[in-house]
């Protein structure tokens, strides 16, 4: 292993600009003559918009324009598109309501835009927005996920009866019912996977600049995939031709899913810039982010596990209501379906599984993918259910998992829920987690806590996820309306250095470093001579962007494919230079050599020859033969469409200490063992896992997107109410790896970005329930706040 | 209705026309073009905007620009000495104390103030000090490690 190749801990090259204050985030982008947009947003969860009087606002200082839904309609703009269609069990398509970029006639959640004020300064736009007079006729709202399908509740959409967007079924219902019929024990849990608000620390932002002389639009926006934004906003909303639409996502301050989507505000800036002929900028205030960034999770689930007399799983039956919010966000239908129920086998051999998911509309902010997206919900359900079953049948939580693990020799393993797991050794990861966490020493630590008046508990979870979506053809059959490949271009410059263009997008993941490590390793070019370019449709040929932990396994594989093409072409040039046959040329360590000789030429020389082709195969003069003549240049492009998902897995152990007098829970130790296949840069992988685990601890203990059930006001709409994990809420995370290379991509890698968030919530809750087991507490909803823990203790054992 | 405010920023005397309501962070970012200082919230709770005012760390969204009259302000852009990074910047780099980088300027400015007060802070002291700085990416693990290393390097 070289110091900068695959597997090396290379310090990140992108750090320099960030630690020096020289990052270039969207709000740092300014265009000459730009004006500022400020949105007027609905204070009602559900209301008819009777009229909007913009006169006073339009006359205010600095105001350039005040635009409303009527202007959107008059200009013929399209609605925000949905990228995935789901079919209900009865064969009917999901209900897909229109979603205009500014509300027309009716608002359906607090924070929905009803007008936009555009003015010379931010403050002028904000001041004038106060003068827009909107006459609302408030309507009753439905907020509760649970109640949304009941008779007689308010309806968000007329054609979505009982507020149901779709009612989806998956798996084998008959086989599952049979399994339950012959079970010796059935365990049932009722779970809430609460609404979360993603909260990347950089608020969303966009700047649009339209050149009327060329018809070209440039949009800078906080996106995880600028090509997707260009396609979706250009074709569906703005009718801005793709070849005259450049989208740039420069430095982006965290995404976690929430920056995948083509948001209305970005479209509004483009539309206003085109209409007004000046650049238009908008940056969310945090309160706006809370109301308008796509939220995550929000499931209510009943899950049942059928077991035989030996604690082996026979069947799993799950019924979930998934809240979509008021409109369907771009990938919302995918999250509680194919990213959820396909994970129900977990690491186990459960032979029969059936899932039913009702997706519902409510008068709340739309919900979409948030770090993990469907897989944390699946894992929380399964790992809580298994712990509850273990307790009921009197088997140790470690043993019950081991009894049901898919054996290492059983791969490839076809689960009953569609996925074909390629590889794994689940017992090995668990062994390592138990060892690193000193599981055996827990009892002594428990006693020590007890002596200090604290309750100590230990919990495990053994999560799996599917990352690197997905074979496009299969995704298409399942409802995807887009491809899921990634693209790469490797361009040698004449002087031998290399520019790599990738359709992935780094917003913290360190691609500039790890992708350069891959290219340096594959092509033998010094690491410092390689530059990675991402995030600009004007420079990068094509891309799907970064989501679902796919950058390395899909984007990195495209880079490997492009590097293979470079070598293939390089061999032809080298063969000419070395006067040998192409078949006799071997490539290694950056050199093309004639087999069995000491004749060789470096790839930098080959690149120079390719661009200064003075010593190049001559044309023969025969047009047929010359059709295949060697072209100048060393610049190759590749697309990689995955052969399958890949399946990272892990084993997590959490230890908590609960103060029974206050209910305060402290995570005392957290151990995460992950198997993400081969590792390019271990430092970056561990960083991803640590960050993910803390986001999961946030869900387990702190975070909750809470609405007032009557008014639909978001009660946890600021950092004062939405409790983000802070440094003093969490411990250091002990992370380590086992390495089982993935056989389905050339790097042998799997995704690592979401594992921590997926695996940690059930480990934390299992640990708290273990701590409280002396009180007979069997259930606790997330977030396990001090108040909830204290109440659980009191309710389980009323004061004597 | 604007007034003139004069102060020193990163060792240079500057003055600007500001509204009474202009925040120090707006003066830095929007008028002086020092975009290294970030805005992550509107309730003074994320710490992305931390700068030093007269040598002490301060959330620049909690101070009006006019209040900074005559003050000596240092931002993230003013830390390095030419090409030589401040030891705390270097420590964040060496310990992978950042991912997306958005919280980083505030974290570094805050950490330097801690290290000045407490040359060898414990993990617990660092975590408590960071109570006002949010990071969504790193899980704080490597930020804590960075600050420990940075404090030691600063006081070596
Ligand atoms: S911007 Fe969040 S604390 Fe200042
Ligand atoms: S590094 Fe992204 S918020 Fe801290």
Looking at residue A625, what is its pLDDT?
Answer: 84
Q: Judged by CB atoms within 8 Å, which residues 672-701 of A form the interface with B?
A: 683-684, 687-688, 690-695
List pLDDT tens digits, range A719-754: 999 999 999 999 999 999 999 999 999 999 999 999
Q: How would you write A219-253 as a 3-class SS string?
A: EEECCCCHHHHHHHHHHHHHCCCHHHEEEECCECC
Task: State the average pLDDT over residues A194-222.
Answer: 98
pLDDT at residue A31 greater than cutoff 80: yes
**Domain limits of chain A?**
16-139+202-253+259-292, 296-393+400-469+643-796, 485-640
List pLDDT tens digits, range A457-466: 999 999 999 9
Cα–Cα distance, A766 to A461 (Å, whole number): 8
Q: Which atom of ligand 2 is nearest to the CA of B101?
A: 1
Closest Cα in chain B, distance from residue A90 (Å): 42
Please write down the long-range contacts of A710-714, taking CB distance under 8 Å and 24 or more positions apart: A710/A141, A710/A143, A711/A45, A711/A141, A712/A44, A712/A45, A712/A46, A712/A109, A712/A110, A712/A141, A712/A143, A712/A363, A712/A364, A713/A45, A713/A110, A714/A110, A714/A111, A714/A290, A714/A291, A714/A365
Q: Judged by CB atoms within 8 Å, which residues 449-508 of A form the interface with B?
A: 507-508
User: Atom 3 of ligand 1 has which residue's CA nearest to it?
Assistant: B44
Q: Which of A9, A10, A16, A18 to mutate to test the interface with B (most CBs of B within 10 A)?
A: A18
Q: Judged by CB atoms within 8 Å, which residues 61-90 of B form the interface with A?
A: 75-77, 79-80, 85, 89
- What is the signed CA dihedral for A752, A758, A759, A762, rounded to 10 degrees? 170
Looking at residue A618, what is its pLDDT?
Answer: 83
Of the candidate CATH numbers 2.60.40.10, 3.40.50.2000, 3.30.365.10, 3.40.50.300, the domain formed by A485-640 belongs to 3.30.365.10
Q: What's the CATH code, domain A296-393+400-469+643-796?
A: 3.30.365.10
B99: CA distance to ligand 2 center in Å? 5
Distance of CA A549 to the CA centre of its chain: 7
Looking at residue A107, what is its pLDDT?
Answer: 98
A252, A683, A718 ranked by CB distance to B43: nearest: A718
Residue A1: pLDDT band (50, 70, 90) is low
Number of A:B CB contacts under 8 A? 175
Residue A796: pLDDT band (50, 70, 90) is confident
A635-640 and A420-421 strand pairing: unpaired
Mean pLDDT of all residues in chain A? Answer: 96
Looking at residue A800, what is its pLDDT?
Answer: 45
Fold observed for domain B87-154: DNA polymerase; domain 1 (1.10.150)
* Chain A environment of B30 (Cβ under 8 Å): 122
Which stretch of A304-313, A619-628, A673-682 has the lowest confidence by average pLDDT? A619-628
A20, A203, A727 ranked by CB distance to B77: nearest: A20
- Shared fold status for A16-139+202-253+259-292 and A296-393+400-469+643-796: no
Cβ count within 10 A of residue B104:
32
Contact partners, residue B84, CB within 8 Å, separation at least 6: none
Q: Which of B37, B74, B101 to mutate to test the interface with A (most CBs of A within 10 A)?
A: B101
Contact partners, residue A407, CB within 8 Å, separation at least 6: none
pLDDT at residue A255 greater than cutoff 80: yes
Q: Name the residue with higher pLDDT: A617 or A442.
A: A442
We find that the CATH architecture of domain A16-139+202-253+259-292 is: Alpha-Beta Complex (3.90)
- Shared fold status for B3-78 and B87-154: no
**Domain limits of chain B?**
3-78, 87-154
* Chain B environment of A16 (Cβ under 8 Å): 93
Task: State the average pLDDT over residues A359-365.
Answer: 98
Looking at residue A797, what is its pLDDT?
Answer: 73
B48: CA distance to ligand 1 center in Å? 5
CATH 3.40.50.300 for domain B3-78, yes or no, is no
Ligand 1 pocket member B47 (CB < 6 A): yes
Model-level pTM greater than 0.95?
yes
């Amino acid at each position: 292993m070289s110091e900068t190749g695959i597997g090396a801990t290379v310090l990140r090259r992108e750090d320099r600009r960030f630690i020096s204050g020289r990052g270039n985030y969207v709000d740092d982008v300014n265009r000459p003559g730009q004006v500022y947009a400020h949105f007027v947003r609905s204070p009602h969860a559900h209301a008819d918009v009777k009229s909007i009087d913009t006169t006073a606002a339009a006359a205010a200082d600095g105001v350039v324009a005040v635009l409303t839904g009527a202007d959107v309609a008059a200009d013929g703009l399209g609605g925000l598109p949905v990228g995935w269609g789901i079919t209900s069990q009865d064969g009917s398509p999901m209900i897909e309501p229109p979603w205009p970029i500014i509300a027309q006639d009716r608002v359906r959640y607090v924070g929905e835009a009803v007008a936009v004020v555009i003015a010379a300064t931010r403050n002028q736009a904000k001041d004038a927005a106060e003068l827009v007079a909107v006459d609302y006729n408030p309507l009753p709202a439905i907020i509760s996920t649970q109640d949304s399908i009941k008779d007689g509740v308010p309806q968000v959409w007329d054609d979505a009866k009982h507020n149901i967007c779709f009612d989806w079924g998956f798996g084998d219902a008959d086989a599952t019912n049979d399994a339950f019929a012959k079970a010796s024990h059935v365990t049932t849990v009722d779970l809430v996977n609460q609404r979360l608000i993603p909260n990347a620390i950089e608020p969303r932002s966009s700047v649009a600049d339209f050149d009327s002389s060329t018809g070209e639009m440039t949009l800078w926006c906080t996106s995880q995939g600028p090509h997707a934004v260009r396609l979706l906003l250009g074709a569906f909303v703005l009718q801005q031709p793709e070849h005259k639409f450049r989208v740039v996502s420069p430095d982006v301050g965290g995404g976690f899913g929430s920056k995948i989507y083509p948001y209305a505000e970005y479209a509004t800036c483009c539309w206003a810039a085109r209409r007004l002929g000046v650049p238009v900028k908008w940056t969310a205030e945090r309160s706006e982010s809370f109301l308008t960034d796509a939220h995550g999770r929000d499931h209510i689930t009943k899950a049942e596990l059928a077991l035989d007399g030996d604690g082996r799983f026979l069947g799993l039956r799950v019924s979930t209501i998934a809240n979509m919010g008021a409109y369907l966000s771009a990938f919302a239908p995918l999250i509680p379906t194919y990213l959820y129920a396909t994970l129900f086998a977990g690491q186990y051999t459960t032979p029969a599984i059936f899932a039913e998911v009702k997706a519902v509309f409510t008068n709340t902010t739309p919900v979409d993918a948030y770090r993990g997206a469907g897989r944390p919900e699946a894992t929380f359900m399964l790992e809580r259910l298994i712990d509850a079953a273990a307790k009921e049948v009197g088997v140790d939580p470690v043993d019950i998992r081991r009894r049901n693990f898919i054996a290492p020799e059983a791969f490839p393993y076809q689960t009953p829920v569609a996925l074909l797991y390629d590889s794994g050794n689940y017992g090995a990861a668990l062994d390592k987690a138990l060892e690193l966490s000193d599981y055996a020493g827990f009892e002594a630590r428990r006693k020590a806590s007890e002596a200090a008046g604290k309750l100590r508990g230990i919990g495990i979870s053994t999560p799996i996820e599917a990352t690197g979506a997905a074979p496009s053809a299969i995704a298409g059959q399942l409802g995807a309306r887009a491809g899921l490949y990634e693209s790469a271009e490797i361009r040698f410059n004449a002087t031998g250095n290399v520019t790599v263009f990738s359709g992935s997008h780094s917003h913290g993941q360190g691609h500039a470093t790890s992708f350069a490590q891959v290219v340096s390793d594959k092509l033998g070019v010094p690491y410092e001579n390689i530059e990675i370019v991402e995030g600009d449709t004007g420079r990068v040929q094509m891309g799907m962007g970064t989501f679902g932990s796919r950058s390395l396994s899909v984007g990195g594989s495209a880079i490997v494919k492009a590097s293979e093409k470079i070598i293939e072409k390089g061999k032809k040039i080298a063969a000419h230079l070395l006067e040998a046959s192409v078949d006799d040329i071997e490539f290694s360590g950056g050199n093309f050599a004639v087999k069995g000789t000491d004749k060789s030429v470096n790839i930098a020389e080959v690149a120079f020859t390719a661009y200064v082709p003075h010593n190049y195969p001559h044309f023969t003069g025969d047009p047929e033969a010359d059709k295949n003549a060697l072209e100048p240049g060393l610049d190759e492009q590749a697309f990689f469409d995955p052969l399958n998902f890949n399946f990272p897995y892990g084993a997590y152990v959490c230890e908590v200490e609960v103060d029974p007098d206050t209910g305060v829970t402290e995570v005392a130790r957290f151990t995460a063992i992950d198997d993400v296949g081969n590792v390019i840069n271990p430092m970056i992988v561990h960083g991803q896992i640590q960050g993910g685990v803390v986001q999961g601890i946030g869900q387990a203990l702190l975070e909750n997107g809470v609405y007032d059930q009557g008014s639909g006001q978001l009660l946890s709409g600021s950092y004062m109410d939405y409790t983000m994990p802070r440094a003093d809420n969490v411990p250091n995370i002990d992370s380590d790896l086992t390495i089982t290379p993935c056989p389905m991509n050339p790097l042998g890698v799997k995704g690592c970005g979401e594992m921590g968030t997926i695996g940690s919530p059930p480990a934390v809750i299992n640990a708290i329930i273990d701590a409280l087991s002396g009180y007979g507490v069997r259930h606790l909803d997330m977030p396990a706040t001090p108040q909830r823990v204290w109440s659980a203790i009191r309710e389980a054992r009323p004061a004597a | 209705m604007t007034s003139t405010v004069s102060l020193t920023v990163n060792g240079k005397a500057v003055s600007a026309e500001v509204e009474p309501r202009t925040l120090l962070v707006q003066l830095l970012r929007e008028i002086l073009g020092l975009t290294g200082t970030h805005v992550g919230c509107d309730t003074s709770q994320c710490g992305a905007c931390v700068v030093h005012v007269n040598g002490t760390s301060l959330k620049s969204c909690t101070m009006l620009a006019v209040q900074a009259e005559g003050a000596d302000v240092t931002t993230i852009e003013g830390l390095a000495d030419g090409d030589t990074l401040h030891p705390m910047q270097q420590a964040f780099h060496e310990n992978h104390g950042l991912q997306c980088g958005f919280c980083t300027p505030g974290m570094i400015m805050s950490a330097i103030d801690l290290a000045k007060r407490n040359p060898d802070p414990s993990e617990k002291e660092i975590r408590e000090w960071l109570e006002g700085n949010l990071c969504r990416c790193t899980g704080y693990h490597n930020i804590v490690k960075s600050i420990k290393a940075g404090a030691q390097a600063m006081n070596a």
